[in-house]
Chain A
Amino acid sequence: MGTTVLTAPAGWMLSSALGRVLAGLLLPVALVVLWQVAAQHAWLPPQILPAPVDVWNSGADLFRTGDLQGHVAISLLRVVEGFAVGAALGLALGVAMGLSPLVEDYVRPLFTAVAQIPSLGWIPFLMMIFGIGETLKIIVIAKAAFVPMTLNTFSGLRDVPADFVEVARALRFTRWQMLTRLMLPGAVAPIFTGIRYGLTHAWLALVAVELLASSEGLGYLLVYGRQMFWLDTVIMAMVLIGVIGFMLDKGLELVERRLQRWQVTQSESVAA
């Protein structure tokens, strides 16, 4: 596999856990060092790449004035609010469609049409109707979370493994029992996937709407930085957007794992 000549360090990097972590850090650290040196010696014009130190300082300056916290807070607040609305609606619709083929028949085509238009396409239309205030942002973010949530909830309820359904029928489950013992527990994992996708999409939609129409937030910082040629601010905002997006998803991943462990113990207790 891969390299034919395994030198000692390479071998160590491939095998040990510590080696793996260090190897992963090698490239970014080397890049940052190279970046700093290049900026100091002006190998590239400063408009192309500001010094990493400047990026850090611009973040530190904003932090000192409290501005950074303000922008991060408003972005997070918008995401949380929009996501809550969108996920709740998505859950409701997904459950309705999943449980009732009739509802599915009526709603699915319209839902698909709405889902087909990306959030970016909705923003100008919604801007014309709702203006550029907080309402707009919540609605856009809610729509972004609503679509994956609905889809995953719906398929989670529908895609119960056939053999489980047969066993349930053999055991003569009532409709209620089908729902509470079979479909809902089975749907928990896909619903959670829907939550994760929903949050990811919500975060992406937040950036989009803040780039277009905002007076504060991380997307706003990106625009501000770009207008003023503050490349360090732009990069700092990018890093924060990446870090926060990552932490939001990682946080949910941890919750998901907890949930899976809980689910396993639940099913064990049911079986017992």
Chain B
Amino acid sequence: MSDKTEWSTVPRRLGRRAFATLAAASLAAPAVHAAPAAEIRIGFASIGIDNRQFAGGSAAAIAHAEGYVERELKEVPATKVSWFFFKGAGPAVNEAFATEQLDIAIQGDLPEVVGRANGLKTRQLMANGAHAPTYLAVPPDSTIAGVDDLRGKKVALFRGTNNHLAVVKLLAAHHLTERDLQVFNMDEATSSAALVANDIDAAFGNYGTLDLAARKLCKIVYSTKGDNRAFERQATVIAREAFVAANPEITQRVITAFVRAADFASQEKNREALFQIWARSGRTADTYRADFADQTLAYRNSPLIDDFFVEQYRVQAAQAKDYGLIRHPATVDGWFDTSFLHAAVKQLGLAQAWTRYDKDGNKLPAI
């Protein structure tokens, strides 16, 4: 595992691979691999401050930072893991999936739905970084006090990310649409810079805005935490269907590693350690502390895909279509493959570690 992505090696490998897979894709036949993949490419739909090659805020981020996956793969020495961090977030991950340059990703609900609606063949493997909040940040001396004050204002929003869907729903609840605002599409780093420079009036975001607030460079005037649960952003570990089909063993190992990390990340005694590890992304530990305040770790970091979770995704897909964010509908049937998750939970004896919910959100008795 490397702290800095080996730029000198990544481009050349990807170049040949991209050409080869593009040619293969044009034959409309999914590539069927005979032997297990020599390299697994795992990507995060986020990147650290100053392009640090670290993510934060989820179990998978722990798994990367602490080498869980590499340890799990020790018994398969022929396989190595390459980690990627996409500044372009979910949409950039979709581009990577479309060109088969990525095998597994940590991605949010809207881009996953967008990918599926556009014919990307993926499989949902486990929850990761789900139930996440969104924040509205403004410059420190701004007069904007809440979502209602946003009409006609310059607002930064990262389109195509799960923030986007949450914001669209939020605006609708306040009888606003994106067109009532002047929306600038900005990634986290750009919107942070724009907020500080007062180039924009407000920004929707998550860790970037919290980090700025922790540094007293902006103020958070609204958070979806405590508001309607429907505004929660979901996210998962998602993989290319072809990769999973060709590499079930490796996929299992990766998921097991992630579930191990999820276990670590769900125990309250690890709370501080968790924030410190996530701080390797360059954001302060305070950022994560604030984000996870008043919530149990087990709620946020649960890897379980239960009926409630699937139902959340069904709702997200339907609403994405309703709000015009996807052109063609996306179904969730057949998308979730929980076999790897169940096997991992069983293997690690974590059946009691997390709460399951039924379709309507009611707690199910422990198995």
Contacts and interface: CB of A to CB of B under 8 A. Distances in A.
A131 B26 contact: no
Interface in B323-354: 325-327
B246 interface: no
B192 to A, nearest CB: 14
B327 A230 contact: yes
A229 B119 CA distance: 11
B118 A46 contact: yes
Interface stretch (A28-36, A37-45, A102-110, A183-191): A37-45
Interface stretch (B45-53, B56-64, B181-189, B304-312): B181-189
B182 A48 contact: no
A46 B118 CA distance: 6
Given A45-B98, A215-B184, A227 B91 contact: yes
B25 A223 contact: no
A47 B91 contact: no
Interface stretch (B193-201, B247-255, B267-275, B359-367): B193-201
Contacts of A131: 197-199
Contacts, number: 66
B160 A229 contact: yes
B73 interface: no
Contacts of B159: 223-224, 227-228
Nearest to A41: B28
B101 interface: no
Contacts of A231: 118
Contacts of A215: 154, 182-184
A213 interface: yes
B98 to A, nearest CB: 4
A257 interface: no
A165 B91 CA distance: 63
Contacts of A54: 327
B114 interface: yes
A54 B28 CA distance: 21
Given A44-B26, A45-B25, A227 B200 contact: no
Interface in A118-174: 127-128, 131-133
Interface of B: 25-26, 28, 91, 94, 98, 114-115, 118-120, 154, 158-160, 182-185, 194, 197-200, 325-327
19 contacts: A42-B119, A44-B26, A44-B28, A45-B98, A47-B120, A48-B25, A48-B98, A54-B327, A127-B199, A213-B184, A215-B154, A215-B184, A226-B91, A228-B91, A228-B325, A228-B326, A229-B94, A229-B114, A229-B160
Given A54-B327, A132-B184, 17 more contacts: A44-B26, A45-B25, A46-B118, A47-B94, A47-B119, A47-B120, A213-B184, A215-B154, A215-B183, A220-B185, A224-B185, A226-B91, A227-B91, A228-B91, A228-B159, A229-B115, A232-B327
